Structure 1
Amino acid sequence: MVYDKKIENRLKRIEGQIRGIMHMMEEGKDCRDVVMQLSAVRSAVDRTMGVIVSTNLEQCIRENIETGEETDSIVKEAVELLVKSR
């Protein structure tokens, strides 16, 4: 799979959020604020995983349709991958 610039930008944004959380912890910020930011990071990571899996799924389905192969197992595998990640 080829990862495009959008995925890279998402991950860089998450990286920045993590650095921000580290900075908050160094400053002794309130637990609630730190946990809220961690929750935002978790949500961003979940969305990024969804984008990666859906993009890959789309590519795989297109390839299988072009070659006349079944697509059922690919869809099932993608769903299982997302379910396991939670």
Structure 2
Amino acid sequence: MNYDPRVKNRMKRIEGQVKGLMKMMEEEKDCRDVITQMSAVRSALDRAAAVIVSANLERCIREEQESDQSSEELIQEAVNLLVKSR
């Protein structure tokens, strides 16, 4: 799959968040602040996964016209990917 540059940029921002999180831990910041940042990283990853699955589903539905796979199967596969990402 060809990943959109915007998705790659999202991942770079997430990488920066994780580095910031590590710095917070090294500086022995309050656990509430660390957990808040961890939650933000998790949320960002969830959003990135949703963008990727959405783009993949859109591409697959367009290609479905050329194959035997039904839209229902494609949608179910996308839902399964989202559930798996959690």
TM-score by length of 1: 0.93
Residue type matched to 2:36 in 1? M
CA distance in 1, matches of 2:47, 2:53: 10
- Aligned partner of 2:21 in structure 1 is 21
Q: Give how far 1:84 is off.
A: 2.2
TM-score by length of 2: 0.93
- Aligned partner of 1:43 in structure 2 is 43
Q: Which runs of 5+ in 1 are unaligned?
A: none
Residue type matched to 1:57 in 2? L
Give % identity: 61
Q: Give how far 1:36 is off.
A: 0.2
Q: Which runs of 5+ in 2 are unaligned?
A: none
Runs (4 or more) in structure 1 with deviation over 4 Å come to none
In 2 relative to 1, CA 25–64 (structure 1 residues): closer, same or farther, beyond 3 Å?
same
Residue type matched to 2:51 in 1? V
